[in-house]
Structure 1
Amino acid sequence: MDINQRGIEAMQKGEFEEAATLFSEAIEKNPNNPISYINFGNLLSAVNEPEKALKFYEKAIEINEDSATAYYGAGNVYFNQENYDEAKNMYEKALKKGLDQGDLHFMLGMCLFNLGQNRLALPYFQRAVELNENDSDAKFQYGLCLAQLELIDEALVQFEEVIELDEQHADAFYNIGVAYAFKENSEKAIEMLNKALEIQPDHMLAGHALKIMNGNMEK
């Protein structure tokens, strides 16, 4: 097993000092291998050293400007700092360099969603779901994006698939309830909101929506 792989295994086990030693050794042995810098960047991101992580990703890109995963790693750093414009820029470069993974499309969608560009975010969430049909997070965000664009029936399909994957997903039940309220199916809306509160009793949005729904039913 090569040094980088041993470092990745150590990192996955939470043995960060061991991983750092191995990645340092890999860089020392082959200073022109961008993979070692990317791995070290990932490690620094994992231990909450974002600025140092960026330097390693930048070094990887300096060695090989086609290092797609370096752009992706840098994008994650910027995203976690809520610098969505710069994160989007990095993710788009990763995509351009050939990285076609569900997580990348999901993160690009999240950037655009956070920037209020829901219509542009939509195809990225759709692609993320296509690439990983069992990703409940991607389905949920895709559903939210559809709902924001008032594509309620399409959003419902996604939220219902989320609860098939995760029957304890209170936010999905809440959003199904809101969708049914929008469709003026009060009985179904109340049922779904109650389900959200059953799973998460302190779900404030569901509690508030339920009060409104019950108030309307009493009129």
Structure 2
Amino acid sequence: MGNSFSGVISPSISDARNLSSLTISDNQFAGEIPEEIGALTGLYEFSASDNRLTGPLPSALGRLAGLQILDLHNNSLSGEIPREIQAWQHLSELNLAGNGLTGAIPPELGGLAVLNYLDLSNNLLTGSIPPGLQNLKLKIFNFSNNHLSGNVPPLYASEAYRDSFLGNPGLCGELHGQCPAFSRWTAGKLVFILWLVLPLAGMILLIGVSRQ
């Protein structure tokens, strides 16, 4: 960690079946995470932040049932977060910030009972925030700077969590400044339009009646 190692994570990593911790952060590793990483069934930590990793998160990560820490922030990963994450029942820390991940936040995250650190900020995630995340006992979480929309789950819809949702103009909740464009300006404009239209409609109705 913190060297200048480069190259790729080789598929031959599957031979290291007794590996329990793979920590290669702050290097220059590039390329995709190989599917063969799923063979490391004893892995409890995979930290590869601040590298140049690309491509999707392999579904084979779902085979790492004992994983406790997955930290891949500040890479160039893309694609969706795989639904196979439901197997990570021992995961306490998930940091995927600063990538190019797309798609929705998988509702399976709400079933990871011991998860207390969740950072999905600075990606391209869309859709709503799964209500099931309220089941978690999150000490730290961050969904800022994505393309999320819909309502903020009631548990998190307070000023105390405001910074965790910044940069998602489509989100709406009881957070100051967090509702989208249909706000005071839009509501005021609508009232003004109705103030003009309704009297005019009444005049037209009266004219029509008087002509009969």
Q: Which band: TM-score by shorter chain?
A: 0.3 to 0.5
Q: Report the TM-score, using the length of structure 2 for normalisation.
A: 0.40
* TM-score scaled by length of structure 1: 0.39
Q: Greater helix percent: which structure?
A: 1
